[in-house]
Structure 1
Amino acid sequence: MRISTPQIFNSNIDGYQRGYASIAKTQEQISSGVRIQTPADDPVGAARLLQLQQQQALLTQYSGNMTTATNSLNQEQSVLDSINSALQRARELTLSAGDGSLTDEDRGALSDELGQIQNQLLTLMNSKDASGNYLFSGSKSTVQPFVQNADGSYSYQGDQSALDLQVSDNLLMPIRDSGWGIFEMAANASRTTSSLTTNPNADGVQRAFLSQGTVTDNTSYNADFRSGAPYTLKVLSGTQYQILDSGGNDVTAEANTNGTFDATSSDSNTILFRGSQFQLDVSLAKGDDPTQMNTLVGGYSFSFGTAPDAMAIKRNASNTSAAQITSATVSNTTAYNTQFPNGGVQLKFTSATTYDVYALPTSPSATPMTSGSLGATFPQTITVGGVDLSISAAPNTGDQFSITATSPERQNILNTLGDLRKALDTSTTNNPQAQLAIRDMVASAVSNIDNGMNQVLSTQSSIGSRLNTIDLLGQENQSLSLTNTTTQSSIRDTDMASATSQLVLQQTMLEAAQAAFARISQLSLFNKL
């Protein structure tokens, strides 16, 4: 093979350039401290670095999410602390209201302070975060969670979802709790009701009273009480009563006193029956002869059982008329159970005299479940799915009202305080029934406030557990981040000792190549002549 002089020169120049490029590369690695300048420097290491960088980005995001979660949970914890303090004060006032020596003015003062606490609780339950989002609306963070209805009751407008944030590869952390779970799901002690069915006194004055009752044992109430309701309590005399279940069976023996009571006592006539508690009282009228007790109270009959659903009414803020739906009551239990939608109904007036009824939730394309028309005089009643709605005045076209059913199984603490205030604001002068109603309402309110506080404390305990979890995850995240950084450094960064040795070797090789080339370039055939 013939090798020309230009080939020799070009080959040596290429080798010299490669050697110089290697030295320049090694020098750049030493000066920058980075071994892998391009993926070509170490394809396997570059791929591994990309994976580690992606993991580091996730760890950084998780760290930021944990900070956000911690701030949100701490704010919620602080708000719940304030709510718990307000409920504790409400409980103290409620216990004070049970003092039988209080006058109407005294109870009115207590009612006023309870009203202030009620407003304070409403403000706290509608708290916002630094971004202006509501804390307790669930995922509907721009919707005010609690509003007061036209009838004075309070309703929840958020949803039941908790707002979650990813804080690790496998964990979604709830960073906010919905107001539904905290303030709407406390057990309601007032799940029973009673009504007078027979008054044997010819003068029409009521002398025997049965309280609305409270639930004292959820297990027994759910297992035994419900199945036999409604019950009938018959007062047989001033010392005896009888309880019959819905089938007419005598179940008196299941009551704690086995059908006996003392008509002359105002404190000891508590009836414990199938997980519920009722108070049977006698209040004689002025001029009654106590020796005729059997005649005065014998023959009274009461019906008692589970409380029906309550109706919440919401008036659309854009309504242009003064019309209000002042009440909503179940008039036909069968129709209500089979026809009234679980989510409630929306009443939409298509003119001043006609209306459509839609099942909630509704949509622009929904079709009405029923339609109707109004009479000429007001107030009047509209019946929808077994529920009577009383409308106060003529509506305008486009007016809307929403009616939803609220189960008595759970209680909103705002409504508990509202019901208590109504009882305290009722005059008890010459009104024994009002006096007994206050006593019963106080007992129910204390139980419901306790249940509400327990629900808040349970949520606070859950928040504490989540904060502890975040602390542990933060430590793990920091450890993983440190390991990740160390691993990246070991792959990416230059080994200075090795690189320096490599640079010396490359420099020596380049110098040797230069010396060899200098000598070879001087060779010629003329040197042999």
Structure 2
Amino acid sequence: MRISTVTVYEQSVSSMNRQQAGFLKTGQQIASGRRVVNPSDDPQAASRAVGVSQAKAVTEQYADARVSARNALAQTESVLDSASSVLERARTLLVQASSDTLGDADRQSVASELRGLYEVMIGQANATDGNGRYLFGGYKDGSPPFQKDGDGNIEYNGDSNARALRIDASRLMQVAENGENVFLSVPATAGHLARAGEANAGSVTFTGPSVVDAAESGHRDKYTITFGQDAGGAPIYTVSGPGGPLADHTNIAFESGKPVTFAGLSMVFAGEPVDGDVFEVGPAEDMDPDIFRSFEQVLAALETPADTPAAKAALRNTLNTAMREFANAQDNVLTVRASAGARLNELDIVDSVGANRMLNYEQTLSDLVDLDYVQATADYSLRQVGLQASYEVFTTMKEMSLFSRM
């Protein structure tokens, strides 16, 4: 069988090209550390690697979201801790102010410190996250959520929503609180609250209210105790509920210091009422809780001279109400803070799960596209030997031509 010189040259060159291509590919694999340098090297593995890389990128985005969530929750928790300390100090001052040994000047001193706490509380309520976003404004986080109106009263200008971030594929976490939930609410266990009417002119003070019969469903309603006079000028009172005056508590003769019991609730009134004096009582959450209004009312009472029986009664009633309101507000702040702390703990758990997931993705990618250096080094040596052999074969074959004998 005769083989033409052209065929010999073509086959030899083709063999060398194949050996060079294989040698170059193995060299690229060793240099890059990847078995699949181009998708054509292993289309199936390359396709799976794309899917794993996309899942890995999504997991990294969730990890970044958890960092943002942790920062926001940590700042919220820190502010709430400060707010709780302010309320604790305010409660201590109210206990001091309620002492009968204090005079007007002493109460002015207490009011001075309390006003400072009031301003601190406003500052905490308008705290930002460091990026100019207000922590307690809800979705309206571009402006201070608590601002004074024309009358000097604090108004909430945020909304009732709370910002949330998706920290994992199946978890949307709330990362901020709205001011309504923190400063204008009370915990579910707050109990009942009573307030004296602002226009009361008598010297009546109250104690309570307390629940004496929890089985009485009516104790969850709001009531008004109105004082009046009978035909002889003796003081009487009427208790009114959602449906109007209670049949068995209408025009009842008033006895100072004797408990007034109605709808499962009990209060004690002491002093001398004036016709038209009013007291409201109901569940704390239904009494329009507002910690800033409580501060304002206490400050006004402490800065007003208690030089008449009516003024002393108004001061006593305001302090009694404020003590309960401050206690409820502090409990509510601590409850919200505990919720933020629980979410911080959850972030640690989700971080651990996300880290394990990233390790799995890295291992899967490694199995799909990474190079086995031991095998690659052996292949590289074999490719090198094969390339050298192809050179030798070509050198030998070209010497077998008849032209080399001429």
Asked whether the two chains share a fold, i.e. TM above 0.5, the reply is: yes
Question: In structure 2, do the counterparts of structure 1 residues 242 and 481 end up closer, same or farther at CA, with 3 Å as the change threshold?
Answer: same
Give me the TM-score of the superposition, normalised by structure 2: 0.83
Question: In structure 2, do the counterparts of structure 1 residues 247 and 503 end up closer, same or farther at CA, with 3 Å as the change threshold?
Answer: closer
1:470 correspondence with 2:347: yes
Identity %: 27
Calculate the aligned-residue CA RMSD, in Å: 3.8
Query: Structure 2: how far apart are the matches of 1:518 and 1:249?
Result: 120
Question: In structure 2, do the counterparts of structure 1 residues 90 and 210 end up closer, same or farther at CA, with 3 Å as the change threshold?
Answer: closer
Query: Structure 1: how far apart are the matches of 2:111 and 2:386?
Result: 98
Contact 1:146 1:155 in 2 (8 A): yes
Question: In structure 2, do the counterparts of structure 1 residues 249 and 158 end up closer, same or farther at CA, with 3 Å as the change threshold?
Answer: closer
Contact 1:35 1:493 in 2 (8 A): yes
Question: In structure 2, do the counterparts of structure 1 residues 270 and 444 end up closer, same or farther at CA, with 3 Å as the change threshold?
Answer: farther
Give me the TM-score of the superposition, normalised by structure 1: 0.65
Partner of 1:128: 128
1:178 correspondence with 2:172: no
Show structure 2 runs of 5+ residues with no match. Answer: none
Between Structure 1 and Structure 2, the one with more helix by share is 2
SS of match in other structure, 2:175 = strand
Query: Structure 1: how far apart are the matches of 2:268 and 2:151?
Result: 29
Query: Structure 1: how far apart are the matches of 2:150 and 2:266?
Result: 32
- C-alpha deviation, 1:261, in angstroms: 6.3
Show structure 1 runs of 5+ residues with no match. Answer: 198-205, 254-258, 284-296, 308-406
Query: Structure 2: how far apart are the matches of 1:274 and 1:193?
Result: 19
Contact 2:146 2:156 in 1 (8 A): yes
- C-alpha deviation, 1:65, in angstroms: 2.5
Query: Structure 1: how far apart are the matches of 2:370 and 2:161?
Result: 47
Contact 2:226 2:279 in 1 (8 A): yes
- C-alpha deviation, 1:473, in angstroms: 1.5
SS of match in other structure, 2:270 = strand
Contact 1:420 1:441 in 2 (8 A): yes
- C-alpha deviation, 1:148, in angstroms: 1.5
Deviation string 1:344-375 (CA, Å, 9 cap, x unpaired) is xxxxxxxxxxxxxxxxxxxxxxxxxxxxxxxx
Contact 2:195 2:318 in 1 (8 A): no
- C-alpha deviation, 1:275, in angstroms: 5.7
Question: In structure 2, do the counterparts of structure 1 residues 232 and 445 end up closer, same or farther at CA, with 3 Å as the change threshold?
Answer: closer
Partner of 1:449: 326
SS of match in other structure, 2:247 = coil
Q: Which of 286, 295, 307 is the aligned partner of 1:417? A: 295
1:62 correspondence with 2:62: yes
Question: In structure 2, do the counterparts of structure 1 residues 244 and 472 end up closer, same or farther at CA, with 3 Å as the change threshold?
Answer: closer
Of 417-426 and 507-516, more deviation after overlay is shown by 507-516
SS of match in other structure, 1:176 = coil
Partner of 1:427: 305
Q: How do 1:356-371 and structure 2 match up within 5 A?
A: none
Question: In structure 2, do the counterparts of structure 1 residues 282 and 515 end up closer, same or farther at CA, with 3 Å as the change threshold?
Answer: closer
- C-alpha deviation, 1:234, in angstroms: 6.0
- C-alpha deviation, 1:8, in angstroms: 3.9
1:280 correspondence with 2:269: yes
1:167 correspondence with 2:44: no
Query: Structure 1: how far apart are the matches of 2:306 and 2:134?
Result: 41
Deviation string 1:29-76 (CA, Å, 9 cap, x unpaired) is 123322211111111221222222223323333333222222222222
Q: How do 1:273-422 and structure 2 match up within 5 A?
A: 273-274=262-263, 278-283=267-272, 409-422=287-300
Partner of 2:218: 224
1:149 correspondence with 2:143: no
Query: Structure 2: how far apart are the matches of 1:261 and 1:252?
Result: 11
Query: Structure 2: how far apart are the matches of 1:408 and 1:208?
Result: 26
Query: Structure 1: how far apart are the matches of 2:113 and 2:244?
Result: 46
- Bigger relative contact order, structure 1 or 2, given CA contacts below 8 A and separation 6+? 2
SS of match in other structure, 2:152 = coil
Between Structure 1 and Structure 2, the one with more strand by share is 1
